[in-house]
């Protein structure tokens, strides 16, 4: 597999809250060093496409980025859907979990886990 992409522009960004939560999850679950955070999309959901966010091993066709100290894997084909997206962590009374602010989404479902372009 190839080395991490050396770039000053990552396809997605994380808020400080998301970074803190991702590091906490990685440490609590004792994720192995060869795993990274997979950020991507898959067909489905009420709006047509679901976000993918979870720790995984690198696969064929993935690019590797290091974003705010977190190893990130993203399939090359997913970048056109996610370019410029910000991932946040909400821990309020009304909502708890990761949220996706995607400038490429034409519409999103009410829960924010799926979108259309």
CA distances from 69 to 41, 64, 104, 107, 111 (A): 22, 12, 25, 31, 28
**Position 67 confidence tier, pLDDT thresholds 50, 70, 90:** very high
Q: What's the pTM? A: 0.82
Looking at residue 85, what is its pLDDT?
Answer: 95
The sign of the dihedral angle between the CA atoms of 104, 65, 38, 101 is: negative
Strand partners, 70: 67
d(CA 49, CA 47): 6
Residues 72-80, mean pLDDT to the nearest whole number: 93
Indicate whether 101 pLDDT > 80.
yes
Q: What is Dmax (Cα atoms) for the chain? A: 42
Closest listed residue to residue 58, CA positions, set 76, 36, 25, 32 = 36
Burial readout 11-22 (b: 16 or more C-beta within 10 A, e: otherwise): bbbbbeebbebb
């Amino acid at each position: 597999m190839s080395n991490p992409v050396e770039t000053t522009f990552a396809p997605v960004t994380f808020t400080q809250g998301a970074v803190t939560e991702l590091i906490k999850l990685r440490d609590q679950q004792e994720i192995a060093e060869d795993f990274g955070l997979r950020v991507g999309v898959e067909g489905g959901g009420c709006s047509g496409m679901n976000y993918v966010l979870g720790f995984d091993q690198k696969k064929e066709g993935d690019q590797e980025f290091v974003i705010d100290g977190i190893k990130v894997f993203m399939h090359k084909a997913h970048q056109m859907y996610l370019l410029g997206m910000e991932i946040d962590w909400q821990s309020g009374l009304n909502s708890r979990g990761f949220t996706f602010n995607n400038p490429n989404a034409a519409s999103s479902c009410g829960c924010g886990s799926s979108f259309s372009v």
